[in-house]
């Protein structure tokens, strides 16, 4: 995975109302002191313009992060081409991206794939769950983002 100094990381889930926008906002917050990184999110089956789920908004509000302005967007070939790394929140999302955009297969990963010591798994889908479910998803994403950040920083650092 070679990255340029300016890296766009694009998080992808199903509807772009829970997991991927939570990952986008958390990553932006965690990497606020790293120049040149930008973050976006999209959904494989997003309803354009849909608001984020209330549970996702509330779970991030507990971290003093505002997800309320987010609006869902469908993953497009242009977005896939622009991204340096496409990050599926599940193996199914990654597989579907590889099927739809085979020319970008080398830059498609899952969020949990950045920790070589962890068994690959899907990020919990909180849709329709209670606030505690959204908290668990938020915490899982936040933990996995640490591994992703370390991985990207390592590959960007001069040898």
Choosing from 13, 73, 135, 138, the catalytic residue is: 13
Domains annotated for the chain, with CATH where assigned, are: 7-154 (3.40.50.2300)
Choosing from 18, 19, 31, 138, the catalytic residue is: 19
Q: Retrieve residue 42's tokens.
A: 């999209």
Choosing from 84, 122, 125, 147, the catalytic residue is: 125
Q: Retrieve residue 93's tokens.
A: 């999302």
Q: Count the Cβ atoms, other than its own, within 10 Å of residue 98.
A: 16
DSSP H helical segments within the chain, as ranges?
A: 19-30, 54-61, 77-82, 91-100, 131-156
Quick check: is 122 catalytic? no
pLDDT tens digits, 69-89: 999 999 999 999 999 999 999
Residue 26 and residue 47: Cα distance in Å, rounded? 22
> 5 phi and psi, to 5 degrees?
-60, -40
Quick check: is 19 catalytic? yes
pLDDT tens digits, 103-156: 999 999 999 999 888 787 999 999 999 999 999 999 999 999 999 999 888 877
């Amino acid at each position: 995975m070679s990255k340029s100094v300016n890296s766009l990381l694009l998080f992808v889930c199903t509807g772009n109302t829970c997991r991927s926008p939570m990952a986008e906002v958390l990553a932006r917050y965690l990497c606020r002191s790293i120049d040149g990184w930008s973050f976006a999110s999209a959904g494989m089956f997003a309803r354009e313009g849909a608001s984020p789920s209330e549970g996702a908004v509330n779970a991030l509000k507990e971290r003093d992060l505002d997800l309320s302005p987010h609006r869902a967007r469908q993953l497009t070939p242009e977005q896939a081409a622009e991204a340096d790394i496409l990050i599926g929140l599940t193996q199914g999302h990654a597989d579907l991206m590889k099927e739809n955009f085979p020319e970008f297969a080398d830059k498609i990963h899952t969020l949990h794939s950045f920790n070589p010591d962890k068994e690959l798994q899907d990020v919990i889908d909180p849709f329709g769950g209670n606030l505690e479910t959204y908290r668990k998803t938020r915490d899982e994403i936040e933990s996995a983002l640490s591994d992703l950040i370390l991985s990207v920083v390592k590959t960007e650092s001069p040898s």
